[in-house]
Amino acid sequence: MKVVVTGGAGRVGRALGRRGGAHEIVALARPALDIRDAGDVGRALDEHAPAVVINAAAYTAVDRAQSDREEAFAVNESGAGHVARACETRQIPMIHLSTDHVFDGTATRPYREDDAVAPRSVYGQSKAAGEEAVRAAGGTVVRTSWLFGEGDRGFVPSIAARLRAGDQVRAVADQHGCPTWVDDLADALLALAAVGDIPDVLHYCGEGPTTWHGLAVAIASAIGVDPSRITAIRSDEWAAPAPRPAYAVLDTERVRGLGIAPVPWHRGLLTILLAEGRTRGVGPLA
Protein backbone atom coordinates (compact mmCIF):
# COMPACT_ATOMS: atom_id res chain seq x y z
CA MET A 1 0.00 0.00 0.00
CA LYS A 2 1.35 3.41 -0.98
CA VAL A 3 1.00 6.00 1.79
CA VAL A 4 1.76 9.69 1.42
CA VAL A 5 2.73 11.27 4.74
CA THR A 6 2.68 15.05 5.14
CA GLY A 7 5.04 16.50 7.73
CA GLY A 8 7.58 13.88 6.76
CA ALA A 9 10.43 15.48 8.72
CA GLY A 10 8.52 15.55 12.01
CA ARG A 11 8.73 12.82 14.61
CA VAL A 12 5.49 11.11 13.47
CA GLY A 13 6.55 11.34 9.83
CA ARG A 14 9.97 9.87 10.63
CA ALA A 15 8.39 7.10 12.71
CA LEU A 16 6.06 6.18 9.85
CA GLY A 17 9.08 5.90 7.59
CA ARG A 18 10.81 3.60 10.09
CA ARG A 19 7.74 1.42 10.67
CA GLY A 20 6.43 1.23 7.13
CA GLY A 21 7.37 -2.40 6.61
CA ALA A 22 5.71 -3.72 3.47
CA HIS A 23 4.05 -0.35 2.79
CA GLU A 24 5.54 2.21 0.42
CA ILE A 25 5.89 5.33 2.56
CA VAL A 26 6.31 8.62 0.74
CA ALA A 27 7.18 11.09 3.50
CA LEU A 28 6.94 14.66 2.21
CA ALA A 29 8.37 17.53 4.22
CA ARG A 30 8.59 21.19 3.42
CA PRO A 31 9.53 22.44 0.87
CA ALA A 32 8.48 19.29 -1.02
CA LEU A 33 4.93 19.79 0.29
CA ASP A 34 3.61 22.85 2.10
CA ILE A 35 0.07 22.06 3.23
CA ARG A 36 -0.66 25.78 3.59
CA ASP A 37 -0.73 25.87 -0.24
CA ALA A 38 -3.80 24.07 -1.63
CA GLY A 39 -2.26 23.90 -5.09
CA ASP A 40 0.89 22.34 -3.72
CA VAL A 41 -1.18 19.67 -1.96
CA GLY A 42 -3.10 18.80 -5.13
CA ARG A 43 0.07 18.56 -7.21
CA ALA A 44 1.72 16.24 -4.68
CA LEU A 45 -1.26 13.88 -4.56
CA ASP A 46 -1.51 13.78 -8.33
CA GLU A 47 2.20 13.06 -8.65
CA HIS A 48 2.33 10.26 -6.09
CA ALA A 49 -1.22 8.81 -6.41
CA PRO A 50 -1.32 7.25 -2.93
CA ALA A 51 -3.81 4.73 -1.61
CA VAL A 52 -3.97 6.61 1.70
CA VAL A 53 -2.80 9.98 3.02
CA ILE A 54 -1.71 10.49 6.64
CA ASN A 55 -1.57 14.16 7.60
CA ALA A 56 1.15 14.45 10.23
CA ALA A 57 2.04 18.03 9.37
CA ALA A 58 1.21 20.38 12.23
CA TYR A 59 2.17 23.51 14.10
CA THR A 60 3.01 21.97 17.49
CA ALA A 61 4.71 24.78 19.43
CA VAL A 62 2.02 24.94 22.10
CA ASP A 63 3.36 27.94 24.00
CA ARG A 64 4.53 29.93 20.96
CA ALA A 65 1.09 29.55 19.39
CA GLN A 66 -0.34 31.85 22.06
CA SER A 67 1.35 34.77 20.30
CA ASP A 68 1.49 33.22 16.81
CA ARG A 69 -2.19 32.48 16.26
CA GLU A 70 -2.24 33.23 12.54
CA GLU A 71 0.46 30.70 11.70
CA ALA A 72 -0.97 28.05 14.02
CA PHE A 73 -4.35 28.28 12.26
CA ALA A 74 -2.72 28.49 8.81
CA VAL A 75 -1.17 25.06 9.34
CA ASN A 76 -3.53 23.30 11.73
CA GLU A 77 -6.86 24.48 10.28
CA SER A 78 -6.33 25.75 6.73
CA GLY A 79 -3.57 23.28 5.89
CA ALA A 80 -5.49 20.31 7.26
CA GLY A 81 -8.51 21.45 5.27
CA HIS A 82 -6.47 21.66 2.07
CA VAL A 83 -5.28 18.08 2.50
CA ALA A 84 -8.74 16.80 3.39
CA ARG A 85 -10.49 18.45 0.45
CA ALA A 86 -7.80 17.34 -2.00
CA CYS A 87 -8.25 13.77 -0.76
CA GLU A 88 -12.04 14.05 -0.98
CA THR A 89 -11.85 15.24 -4.59
CA ARG A 90 -9.59 12.32 -5.53
CA GLN A 91 -11.44 9.79 -3.36
CA ILE A 92 -8.33 9.02 -1.31
CA PRO A 93 -8.87 8.01 2.33
CA MET A 94 -7.23 10.43 4.75
CA ILE A 95 -6.13 10.06 8.37
CA HIS A 96 -5.43 13.29 10.24
CA LEU A 97 -3.47 13.46 13.48
CA SER A 98 -4.92 15.54 16.32
CA THR A 99 -4.43 16.01 20.04
CA ASP A 100 -5.79 15.77 23.57
CA HIS A 101 -5.48 19.58 23.73
CA VAL A 102 -8.89 19.90 22.06
CA PHE A 103 -10.42 19.07 25.47
CA ASP A 104 -10.61 21.44 28.44
CA GLY A 105 -9.37 18.87 30.96
CA THR A 106 -12.28 19.06 33.39
CA ALA A 107 -13.47 15.47 32.88
CA THR A 108 -13.38 12.86 35.63
CA ARG A 109 -13.21 9.84 33.30
CA PRO A 110 -11.36 9.20 30.03
CA TYR A 111 -12.50 11.37 27.14
CA ARG A 112 -14.48 9.55 24.47
CA GLU A 113 -14.49 10.47 20.81
CA ASP A 114 -17.97 12.02 20.96
CA ASP A 115 -17.28 14.24 23.98
CA ALA A 116 -17.55 17.95 23.26
CA VAL A 117 -14.29 19.73 22.48
CA ALA A 118 -13.50 22.90 24.44
CA PRO A 119 -9.85 23.83 23.88
CA ARG A 120 -8.25 26.30 26.28
CA SER A 121 -5.14 27.23 24.27
CA VAL A 122 -4.62 28.70 20.80
CA TYR A 123 -2.90 25.47 19.79
CA GLY A 124 -5.90 23.44 20.94
CA GLN A 125 -8.30 25.80 19.18
CA SER A 126 -6.38 25.52 15.91
CA LYS A 127 -6.36 21.73 16.12
CA ALA A 128 -10.10 21.61 16.92
CA ALA A 129 -10.76 23.80 13.87
CA GLY A 130 -8.65 21.45 11.77
CA GLU A 131 -10.67 18.48 13.00
CA GLU A 132 -13.85 20.15 11.78
CA ALA A 133 -12.36 20.78 8.35
CA VAL A 134 -11.16 17.19 8.03
CA ARG A 135 -14.42 15.61 9.14
CA ALA A 136 -16.42 17.87 6.82
CA ALA A 137 -14.42 16.47 3.90
CA GLY A 138 -14.87 12.84 4.97
CA GLY A 139 -11.47 12.29 6.61
CA THR A 140 -10.72 10.47 9.85
CA VAL A 141 -9.30 12.23 12.91
CA VAL A 142 -6.98 10.30 15.24
CA ARG A 143 -6.31 12.04 18.55
CA THR A 144 -3.23 11.13 20.54
CA SER A 145 -1.35 12.51 23.54
CA TRP A 146 2.04 13.14 25.15
CA LEU A 147 4.18 11.91 22.26
CA PHE A 148 7.79 10.94 22.85
CA GLY A 149 10.41 9.29 20.69
CA GLU A 150 14.07 8.61 20.14
CA GLY A 151 16.11 11.63 19.11
CA ASP A 152 13.44 14.28 19.76
CA ARG A 153 13.86 17.33 22.00
CA GLY A 154 10.84 16.70 24.20
CA PHE A 155 10.20 15.81 27.82
CA VAL A 156 11.74 12.32 27.95
CA PRO A 157 15.22 13.08 26.56
CA SER A 158 15.49 16.39 28.40
CA ILE A 159 14.58 14.85 31.78
CA ALA A 160 16.90 11.89 31.18
CA ALA A 161 19.79 14.20 30.25
CA ARG A 162 19.31 16.37 33.32
CA LEU A 163 19.09 13.39 35.65
CA ARG A 164 22.22 11.87 34.14
CA ALA A 165 23.97 15.20 34.64
CA GLY A 166 23.12 15.12 38.34
CA ASP A 167 20.57 17.93 38.27
CA GLN A 168 17.52 18.27 40.47
CA VAL A 169 14.35 18.13 38.39
CA ARG A 170 10.87 19.59 38.83
CA ALA A 171 7.87 17.99 37.12
CA VAL A 172 4.18 18.85 37.09
CA ALA A 173 2.09 16.43 39.14
CA ASP A 174 -1.44 17.75 38.55
CA GLN A 175 -1.75 17.09 34.80
CA HIS A 176 -2.92 13.59 33.86
CA GLY A 177 -2.53 11.94 30.47
CA CYS A 178 -1.20 8.93 28.59
CA PRO A 179 2.35 9.05 27.18
CA THR A 180 2.60 7.62 23.68
CA TRP A 181 5.70 6.22 22.01
CA VAL A 182 5.67 7.64 18.50
CA ASP A 183 6.63 4.29 16.98
CA ASP A 184 3.57 2.65 18.55
CA LEU A 185 1.43 5.46 17.14
CA ALA A 186 2.95 4.92 13.69
CA ASP A 187 2.11 1.22 13.85
CA ALA A 188 -1.47 2.06 14.82
CA LEU A 189 -1.87 4.61 12.02
CA LEU A 190 -0.65 2.15 9.41
CA ALA A 191 -2.93 -0.56 10.80
CA LEU A 192 -5.87 1.86 10.55
CA ALA A 193 -4.91 2.73 6.99
CA ALA A 194 -5.10 -0.95 6.13
CA VAL A 195 -8.52 -1.39 7.76
CA GLY A 196 -10.20 0.85 5.21
CA ASP A 197 -13.64 1.89 6.45
CA ILE A 198 -13.02 3.45 9.87
CA PRO A 199 -14.96 5.92 12.08
CA ASP A 200 -14.50 9.66 11.63
CA VAL A 201 -12.86 10.11 15.05
CA LEU A 202 -10.63 7.71 16.97
CA HIS A 203 -8.34 7.88 19.99
CA TYR A 204 -4.97 6.16 20.21
CA CYS A 205 -2.47 6.66 23.03
CA GLY A 206 -0.13 4.63 25.20
CA GLU A 207 -1.70 2.29 27.73
CA GLY A 208 -1.80 3.59 31.30
CA PRO A 209 -2.44 7.12 32.60
CA THR A 210 0.16 9.00 34.61
CA THR A 211 1.35 12.56 35.31
CA TRP A 212 4.44 14.38 34.08
CA HIS A 213 5.91 13.73 37.52
CA GLY A 214 5.03 10.05 37.22
CA LEU A 215 6.69 9.91 33.81
CA ALA A 216 9.81 11.60 35.20
CA VAL A 217 9.96 9.06 38.04
CA ALA A 218 9.68 6.24 35.49
CA ILE A 219 12.60 7.77 33.56
CA ALA A 220 14.70 7.97 36.73
CA SER A 221 13.95 4.37 37.62
CA ALA A 222 14.81 3.20 34.11
CA ILE A 223 18.25 4.82 34.11
CA GLY A 224 19.07 3.90 37.70
CA VAL A 225 18.75 7.37 39.24
CA ASP A 226 17.24 8.08 42.65
CA PRO A 227 13.68 9.35 41.92
CA SER A 228 13.79 11.50 45.05
CA ARG A 229 15.74 14.00 42.92
CA ILE A 230 12.44 14.80 41.17
CA THR A 231 10.23 17.38 42.88
CA ALA A 232 6.48 17.35 42.25
CA ILE A 233 5.04 20.79 41.46
CA ARG A 234 1.69 22.26 40.47
CA SER A 235 0.92 23.60 37.00
CA ASP A 236 0.77 27.17 38.30
CA GLU A 237 4.32 26.80 39.62
CA TRP A 238 5.51 25.95 36.10
CA ALA A 239 3.71 28.99 34.64
CA ALA A 240 3.74 28.00 30.97
CA PRO A 241 2.27 30.60 28.56
CA ALA A 242 -0.38 28.17 27.22
CA PRO A 243 -2.82 26.38 29.54
CA ARG A 244 -2.80 22.60 29.40
CA PRO A 245 -5.73 20.29 30.16
CA ALA A 246 -5.44 19.06 33.75
CA TYR A 247 -7.01 15.74 32.78
CA ALA A 248 -6.43 14.51 29.23
CA VAL A 249 -6.73 10.74 29.45
CA LEU A 250 -8.23 9.39 26.20
CA ASP A 251 -10.68 6.50 26.00
CA THR A 252 -9.44 3.93 23.46
CA GLU A 253 -12.31 1.43 23.36
CA ARG A 254 -13.29 2.42 19.82
CA VAL A 255 -9.88 1.68 18.32
CA ARG A 256 -9.66 -1.53 20.33
CA GLY A 257 -12.90 -2.57 18.64
CA LEU A 258 -11.01 -2.43 15.34
CA GLY A 259 -8.45 -4.90 16.67
CA ILE A 260 -5.78 -2.27 17.40
CA ALA A 261 -4.74 -2.42 21.05
CA PRO A 262 -2.75 0.43 22.64
CA VAL A 263 0.65 -0.63 23.96
CA PRO A 264 1.94 0.19 27.49
CA TRP A 265 4.10 3.28 27.17
CA HIS A 266 6.80 1.84 29.46
CA ARG A 267 7.97 -0.40 26.59
CA GLY A 268 8.75 2.53 24.32
CA LEU A 269 10.32 4.48 27.18
CA LEU A 270 12.76 1.65 27.93
CA THR A 271 13.50 1.20 24.22
CA ILE A 272 14.54 4.79 23.60
CA LEU A 273 16.43 5.18 26.88
CA LEU A 274 18.39 2.01 26.15
CA ALA A 275 19.21 3.27 22.66
CA GLU A 276 20.34 6.65 23.98
CA GLY A 277 22.34 4.97 26.73
CA ARG A 278 24.27 2.91 24.19
CA THR A 279 25.01 5.85 21.93
CA ARG A 280 26.07 8.17 24.77
CA GLY A 281 28.12 5.60 26.65
CA VAL A 282 26.17 5.71 29.90
CA GLY A 283 25.62 2.84 32.29
CA PRO A 284 23.06 0.08 31.80
CA LEU A 285 19.37 0.52 32.50
CA ALA A 286 17.93 -0.82 35.69
Does a structural domain hold residue 40? yes
What are 118-156's pLDDT values in tens digits? 999 999 999 999 999 999 999 999 999 999 987 677 899
Whether residue 13 contacts residue 5, with contact meaning beta carbons closer than 8 Å, is answered with: yes
Does a structural domain hold residue 242? no
Long-range contacts made by residues 29-38, C-beta under 8 angstroms, separation at least 24?
32/8, 33/6, 33/8, 33/57, 35/6, 35/7, 35/75, 35/79, 35/80, 35/82, 35/83, 36/74, 36/75, 36/78, 36/79, 36/82, 37/82, 38/82, 38/85, 38/86
Secondary structure percentages of the chain, helix, strand, coil, to 5: 45, 15, 40
Does a structural domain hold residue 157? no
Does a structural domain hold residue 236? no
What's 38's domain CATH number?
3.40.50.720
Alpha helix segments (H runs only) across the chain: 11-19, 38-48, 69-73, 80-90, 122-136, 155-164, 182-195, 212-222, 235-238, 253-256, 265-280
Does a structural domain hold residue 210? no
Catalytic, 111? Answer no
What are 34-44's pLDDT values in tens digits? 999 999 999 99
Does a structural domain hold residue 150? no
Q: Which of 59, 111, 123, 247 is catalytic?
A: 123
What are 214-261's pLDDT values in tens digits? 999 999 999 999 999 999 999 999 989 999 999 999 999 999 999 999
Domain hosting residue 48, numbered range: 2-145+181-205+248-263
Does a structural domain hold residue 281? no
> So what's the pLDDT on residue 278?
52
Does a structural domain hold residue 116? yes
**Which residues does residue 99 pair with via DSSP β-bridges, in sequence order?**
144
Number of domains in the chain: 1
What are 53-106's pLDDT values in tens digits? 999 999 999 999 999 999 999 999 999 999 999 999 999 999 999 999 999 999
